[in-house]
Amino acid sequence: MTTAGETILLLSMSPVFAVLIAAPVLKEKITSEKIGGLFLAAIGVVLIVLGGTPLDDAFDPLRLLGNAIVIVSTFLFAVNGIAGKMAVKSVDAVSLTLYSTLFAVPFIWLSAAFTEDITVILRLSTSVWTIILWVGVVNTALAFVLYYNAMNHIEASRIQIALNLITVWGVLMAFLVLGEPLFAPQLVGGALTIIGVIIAQKIRKTAPQA
């Protein structure tokens, strides 16, 4: 359906949804710092993606469907961030990660059973199982515990904007681990993304009352 580049670009919509939802639901202010940081980070993501893998302009209905699915998923992830912010007020980060995973796993297994060949797990090599273990423990469990724990200290909208750094980390790791080339536009895009995230985290100081 959609391309990897388009998926990454569309995923940057999640912070936009989060900022818009957090305003009425969590009463988080839409500040100029958030807007400016979000804009810079989005431009940075565009440069990172387009600088490495130009998008195909061919029209494809299935591709449009794929894009629509990604947009819906970004909205749902933004909602997850808002819900997580509300949940951490009464549940600790570890418990929240555990409970949400327990509820999610049955649906994932059912989906896999109907759409994939689940017998493949019987033929996986040790190296693949090692990667799966790493992804499950570090990239999923630990990452979400840290994500929800951050909700105790930072506004949900600011956290969502910071998630634009995923693109930066992805390109950097691809360069260091996989030996993929790194282009000048990607470097500029990475810098803009980092600057945008930093700007978005800036908190205005309230004037002291007389």
> In terms of domains, do 21 and 109 share one?
no
Instruction: Say yes or no: 65 and 28 in one domain.
Output: yes
Counting every residue, how long is the chain? 210
Q: Do 94 and 146 lie in a common domain?
A: yes
One pLDDT digit (tens) per residue for the chain, 210 residues: 666 666 777 777 788 888 888 989 999 888 888 889 888 888 888 887 777 655 555 556 777 787 788 888 889 988 999 999 999 989 999 999 999 888 888 988 888 888 888 888 888 899 999 999 999 999 999 999 999 999 998 898 888 888 888 888 888 888 888 888 888 888 888 898 889 888 888 776 554 444
Range of the domain at 139: 90-150
Please give the tally of structural domains in the chain.
2
With beta carbons less than 8 A apart as the criterion, state whether 72 and 15 touch. no
pLDDT of residue 210: 42
What pLDDT shows up at residue 60? 66
> Which of 100, 117, 150 finishes a domain?
150
Angle at 102 between CA 101 and CA 108, to 5 degrees: 75
Neighbours of 189 (CB within 10 A): 25
- Domain-terminating residue out of 150, 170, 193: 150
Question: Is the domain of 13 the same as that of 115?
Answer: no
Residue 46 is predicted with a pLDDT of 80
> 136 with 55, same domain?
no
Helix segments in the chain, DSSP class H: 4-11, 13-25, 32-52, 61-87, 93-115, 126-134, 143-150, 156-162, 165-177, 184-200
Residues 6 or more apart in contact with residue 30 via CB below 8 angstroms: 19, 20, 23, 157
Q: Do 34 and 57 belong together in one domain?
A: yes
Check residue 53 and give its pLDDT.
Answer: 57
Specify whether 28 is located in the same domain as 66: yes
